[in-house]
Structure 1
């Protein structure tokens, strides 16, 4: 079983990397982009066989290590 974790900065938290990408896109002629938020995706290979238990374990991983919950939000997808 696999899990995919999407991590993004919370709304209201400045995203300097996203802003740099937005400016670069404008420089390259892509004028229709008003904003960019950059995040990360983490895929985990799990030995768990129960999807609900796996999701709970991955959420604990996020709270402990994978996401900085002060400034980041995350979602977990079991695939």
Structure 2
């Protein structure tokens, strides 16, 4: 159940991010015939938390954001 909720949360967050980046809602025409359009989705699995789908974009770039990033443990030896 937690995996399903995580999947839905991540997919919704990615959809909102893409809508904000492109400037129009899903299943709508792009404003002004923009070349930056939605182009389906590809399956993604990260760290076996949940399987999600990430929307593909034609000729568009957006900053990569990782939502469920576990804290990084750095193994550093202190020399004093």
Please give the TM-score of this superposition, normalised by the length of structure 1: 0.28
* Higher relative strand content: 1
Please give the TM-score of this superposition, normalised by the length of structure 2: 0.28
